[in-house]
Structure 1
Amino acid sequence: MDWLWRAPVIAGSMTWEILWALILGFTLSAIVQAVVRREVITRALGDDSPRALAAATGFGMASSSCSYASVALARSLFRKGASFTAAMTFEIASTNLVVELGIILALLMGWQFTLAEFVGGPIMIVLLAVLFRVFLRRRLVDDALRQAERGVAGSMEGHAAMDMSVTGPGSFWRRLTSAKGLTSVSHIFVMEWAAIWRDIVAGLLITGALAAWVPMGFWQSFFLTDHPLWARIWGPLVGPIVAVISFVCSVGNVPLAAVLWNGGISFGGVVAFIFADLIILPILNIYRKYYGVKMAAFVAGTFYATMVLAGYAVELLFTLLGLVPSHRNASVVEAHISWNYTTWLNIAFLVLAAVLLIRFFTTGGLPMLKTMGGGPDDTRHAHDAHDAHHADHGHDGPAPAAPEDRRHHP
């Protein structure tokens, strides 16, 4: 039965290798979200100008790395007045240009892949803005807005609707270390984990199964490794398709990307595969519910096209600069836990996570956590829990209404 046991062993060893990086990334994300109000974000994203898209990219990088939560948050921004292009830009940045993704890519695959992700992300955003400007019609955006306004509820929508940021006088550090700031950081940290842990677990288990049970010869044949030129063309085309049918998203797709890289997929194919967390089958269904069938199809088509083109661009650029790794030795191996730097980092960050968990549960976070479970009344319950949180911790009541001026056409 060794063949059956080897898959969870690989998954467990990879979890141990990346645990501290996950905690660090989600902590940094929670800190940023705790000191910036969402209304400030939406006021900056009202059109598809370079300035608005740059702001959307920056806000996305500082926000959630959960694909499902970012999709729901993008819909919330769209409803509040952000342009559809800016909302989709935010969505791309919040899942593909975040700290934890870069750290885990470096740990498992090498710094070249981290650099490729942060080079390819802006390329994809620029390409998407161009395609939206040329092909997206006002009528389609208006229809999508009407569908979005119907209020399709879900656990991720409730998560995205809650604004637990702390604003007011004082420096960044003073607001962060205040009682309100620590409470907000702990709540956002836990809610982010509640939204994404299934994706991470699924990604690690799928990775373990593929690494243990699929012969390397299959991947080498599938990715055309005997034909270098065709492999470079084929990789970005098929990478997103593998992601779509694997159901793995967010940070959870990095371990699977490591398996594919070792199996022979091209460098650009890895980049396209990682970008494709926003068009996996469950998220395509969410697009259909949020924006209607036509807009869902438009988003799927344009996202796929930009992922492929960004993969080609990164492959060409990194090949010319000599930055494509010459060896396929991503960390998808069984490892033994020993007293090295990874163990010490994991212990330190597990202590930090424990402190945030204690703060979360001792400041009334459990009702909000229960809203993540799904159900038709999630959004209403999320708002109720959010209002109770503000009342308990001295916030000034509900956030002001968003401006009525909505510039949706790109």
Structure 2
Amino acid sequence: MVIARNLSVAKSKLKPLFSLSRFSPSLQNHHPLPSPAHHHRFAEASGARSVVLLVVDAVDFDGSFPRRLAKLVTEAIDENYTNWKEGKSGNHWVRQRARDGGAGVIKKVHFVSAVKDWGLKDLVEDVKELAGARGHVWTVGMQNAGKSTLLNAMGKCAGGGSEAKVIHLTEAPVPGTTLGIIRVEGVLPGNAKLFDTPGLLNPNQITTRLTRDEQKLVQITKELKPRTYRIKVGYSVHIGGLMRLDIEESSVDSIYVTVWGSPYLPLHMGKTENASTMFEEHFGRQLQPPIGVKRVQELGKWVRHEFTVTGNSWDSSSVDIAAAGLGWFAIGLKGDAVLGVWTYDGIDVVLRNSLIPYRAEIFEVAGFTVSKIVSKADQDLNETKRKRKVREVAVAADAA
């Protein structure tokens, strides 16, 4: 099983792809995820050696990790491959999160960048070795996890600069699989075959509810950089109009909150008591996405999640609170705290060990972060106020 995605992080250059596991089932390719009724196919299938290349977005690991599919694959793997190969730092973090998500067996973990060609050579060599001369490699993952980008990059790496060639299949090569599978050539040698499968849908990712223009604000297309606040109980941080973190209780005077997400997303830090005003007056305006006031209601009900967190260091983040499809808050403290997290109903929110422990050297200040979205919204608001004042003056003059 492999997990992969482009991720550019300032300072650390973290670029995950994930792991490879051998197994001998046919891959039941469903969209969305396979149902329990198909579990037996994994245990009964036989034939060519198969490898699952599971592609996961490192920036949205929990939101793009197909838990049910990982469990299906794991159940079909021989007991000979149940030992974990322990890793360090990011490698260990990935393995632990994958195991929590149901992937009980992982052969190898690769950190790669399909954009900057980091780690691709080692990945291609390992896929070739696991597939053998006649094996089948199945590339699976959630929608927008970067499968196509990765496969093209692997094709260039294996073919000396030429992109991988794809063949659209008219019938499935394995009994019981759905149509729509794509054969990718130019990566594996001999009679080994590489297949790309339709992206799986996770309705609990916030991006599935966004328009194309809103998705552009959320997607990571630039180097990922931390934005850090030092805040006290009674204060909140908004990520656009999509997520809010409240510091409700704490055993220490203040805690460090680092936002990891698209640099296009405007942030706001202020008193929690003003949160309702922020929702009514700024969602869809200064705080985007959503774009436009009408879209706020279309996204659904705003609900609260509660997390009790513990940290043992002021120098690094201890835990993350991540929203599927958006990004995460990294929390740094030496003590305990109760945090309230608000987002739209049905969006997955998880607490996990910190992926990137460091924070920004310069802290953000209260109020809105500087962005084109905030500036444009402020200009529109000022123009509206100006026109209203002109009308009021005109009405007063007529009355006189």
Same fold (TM over 0.5): no
> Counting helix residues as a fraction of each chain, which structure ranks higher?
1
> TM-score with structure 2 length normalisation?
0.24
> Counting strand residues as a fraction of each chain, which structure ranks higher?
2
